[in-house]
Every structure is written in structure tokens, then in C-alpha cells.
Amino acid sequence: MAEAGKKRPRPVPVPTSITRPFWDAAKQGKLVLQHCRRCGTWQYWPRPVCIRCISRDLEWREAAGRGVVYSFTVTRLPAEGFEGHEPYVLVSVDLPEGTRMMAHLVNCPIERVRIGMPVRVVWEKLTEEITLPQFEPAA
């Protein structure tokens, strides 16, 4: 348990063979999603097969990097691994590609978060290997 009020480094994702292309693109500030060559479905998070037709014929395509808040939650109590970061906002974002992505919302006062709010992706470099996508209000 972290000292009360002390901000500790947040957990760092560990790439796998399936998620490696996502993290490699993120390092370059590009949001990529899996796209099924067989049925055209986009999906997030990365998986070995298409969630619609179970095809393994998936490719990575760059996404627009914007979306609209579908839902959100404000975390005010310390959660394991995020002690000292509260309060923070997690958003579920509808992407124009047709899938949904969950991430932190940054650069936005909590009282201004709204369902339907346009957002765009921003990047936070956590380590040399991991750059994390987050969202902020679109201008």
C-alpha cells in the first residue's frame, strides 16, 4: 500500500505477440486498430481472431484518433496501482471506425466531462517502450 496522498508510477502495459504492433505504432503517435480483411470489422482491444467472423486474417490500420464519449466514470478512491492519481476519469469512446476504446481522459476538468463530448487521442510516454493513448477534449 502506497503512502497516503503519494503519487506512485502507474502500471506499465507489457506488450505480447498480439499487442506488439499496437504499442510499436503508439510509440510513433499513431493509433492503430485491428481490421478484418474478411468481413471489414474493426476491433479494439487486440485479439488473435476477428470478433465477428473468427477469421485470423487481420491487419493493422491507422485510426482517425478521435471519437465521442460513450460513457465515463470518475474514480475518486485509490485503486491498486493508481494510488495518488485520483481523482481521474476513465472514458469509453465510440470511435468512427465502429469500435469502442477505453482510456483515461486528461486535460479536462472532471465537472466538464459529458457523454457525447468529442475527444481526440493524446499520448503519454511512460517508458522507452510504452507510449500510452489517452483522450482529451477535441477543440
The residues binding Zn ion (CB under 5 A) are: 36, 38-39, 41, 50, 52-53, 55
CA distances to 20, 53, 112, 136 from 60, rounded to whole Å, are 11, 17, 33, 24
The nearest distance, CB 68 to Zn ion, in angstroms, is 24
For Zn ion, give the closer residue by CB, 58 or 91.
58
The nearest distance, CB 97 to Zn ion, in angstroms, is 14
For Zn ion, give the closer residue by CB, 10 or 100.
100
For Zn ion, give the closer residue by CB, 8 or 61.
61
Give first-to-last CA distance, the chain, whole Å. 38
